[in-house]
Amino acid sequence: MAEPVLEVRGLTKHFPVRQGFMARPARVRAVDGIDFAIHAGETLGLIGESGCGKTTTSKLILLQEPPTAGSIAFEGRDIAGFKGPELMDYRRAVQVVFQDPFSSLSPRMRVEDIIAEPLEIHTELSKGAIRARVHDVLELVGLPPDVARLFPHEFSGGQRQRVAIARALATDTRLIVLDEPVSALDVSVRAQIINQLEHLQRTLGVSYLFIGHDLATVAHISDRIAVMYLGKIVEMADSDTLCKQPLHPYTKALFAAALPSHPDDPKQERTIAGEVPSALALPAGCRFHTRCPMAMPVCSEVEPPLQTRDGGQRVACHLY
C-alpha cells in the first residue's frame, strides 16, 4: 500500500495541572499513546465522548500544541522538525474546519477575503487569479460565486460551514481535519454538508480526519473508524465491519445509545452507567472497567493492548 498521508505513532499529550498550593503537580492524560494512519483519499473517523482527547489529537496534528511524546509523520516526514519552507508547505497542505461556523469566520471580512487568505499567504497569484480561484472553490461547495462580496452574518449556519470548507480547499489541500463540522447544524443541513464533503473527496482526492461524537454521521462518511475512550483508541476497524460487528463493550454501548433508524424498532437496553472517570486519576488496568458491563477481575489489573484480529479489526479488550 502507498505511503499514508498522515501517520500517527504513540502520540501522547499530557497537560500538567496544579490542584492546590501544596499538591503534587498532576497530569491530565488527554491523549495517551495512539496510533493511526490516514491514506490518500480516505476518511478516518475519530469518535468518542467529550473529553476523550479527540480535539487534543486534532490540535497536535495542526501544530497548535506540541506533543508530550510520539510522532506525527506527514507524507513520511516528521512534522515536529518542520521549519521555514517545510512548515509552510505543511500549513498549505493541511487545513481544518471547526465546529462553530459563527466563530470560525471573521465577522469583519468579506467571504472572498476569508477564502483568499490561505492563497495570499502561500501563493504569488495576482488579485485576478485569486478571485478566480475563490469563485471556483465557492462553486465546488455549492455556493454561487456572487456571494463572494457578502459578509459572514449574511449567511445561514450551513452556508457558513460551506464557506469554511471552501477556504479549507482553496490551496492544494491534501488533508482536512474536520473537527465536528456538522455538530452545530440541524439535521437536514447536516446531510447536505456530509454529501458535499463526500462529493468533494471523490472529485479532489483529499483525505479527511473526521472527528465527531455522533455515531451515525461518522459511520456514514468514514472509511475507517477509530473509537477513543479516555485518551486511548479502544477499537479501530473498517466502517462497515465496525457497524456490523462491534467488539469492544464501549463501542457496543455507543451503538446501543444511538437511536434506532425506525421508531418502531426495539431500542437496545444496554446503556452504560456512570460518568467518564477523571483523566487526572485514570482507573488501573482497562480504563473502561469501571463502567463496563462485562468487566472481569483481570480488567482492573492489566491494561489490554490493542490487538489485531482476523479481517484487520483492532480491539483493546480482554474478552478477545
Which positions touch other proteins (CB under 8 A)? 62-64, 87-88, 91-92, 94-96, 98, 100, 103-109, 114, 117-118, 121-122, 139-140, 142-144, 147, 150, 154-156, 158-159, 162, 167, 192, 195-196, 199
Collapsed DSSP state (helix, strand, coil) of residue 45: strand
Side by side, the strands of the sheet bearing 224-229 are 94-97, 175-179, 207-212, 43-47, 224-229, 232-238, 314-315, 307-308
The crossing angle, in degrees rounded to 10, of helices 127-140 and 187-204 is 120
Indicate the residue among 182 and 247 with the shorter CB distance to other proteins: 182
Q: Least separation, in Å, of the C-beta of 252 and other proteins?
A: 34
Residues 207, 175 contacting (CB under 8 angstroms): yes
Indicate the residue among 162 and 314 with the shorter CB distance to other proteins: 162
Indicate the residue among 75 and 117 with the shorter CB distance to other proteins: 117
Q: Least separation, in Å, of the C-beta of 120 and other proteins?
A: 9
Q: Least separation, in Å, of the C-beta of 94 and other proteins?
A: 8
The grid coordinates listed for 146 are 456572487
Residues 198, 190 contacting (CB under 8 angstroms): no
Write out the DSSP string of 236-247. Answer: EEEHHHHHH---
Q: Least separation, in Å, of the C-beta of 266 and other proteins?
A: 34
Indicate the residue among 70 and 158 with the shorter CB distance to other proteins: 158
Indicate the residue among 130 and 230 with the shorter CB distance to other proteins: 130
Q: For residues 168 and 95, give the distance between their C-alpha atoms in angstroms, rounded to a whole number.
A: 5
Q: Least separation, in Å, of the C-beta of 117 and other proteins?
A: 6
Indicate the residue among 191 and 258 with the shorter CB distance to other proteins: 191
Work out the end-to-end distance of the chain between its first and last CA atoms, rounded to an integer number of angstroms: 28
The grid coordinates listed for 235 are 477499537
Q: Least separation, in Å, of the C-beta of 170 and other proteins?
A: 9
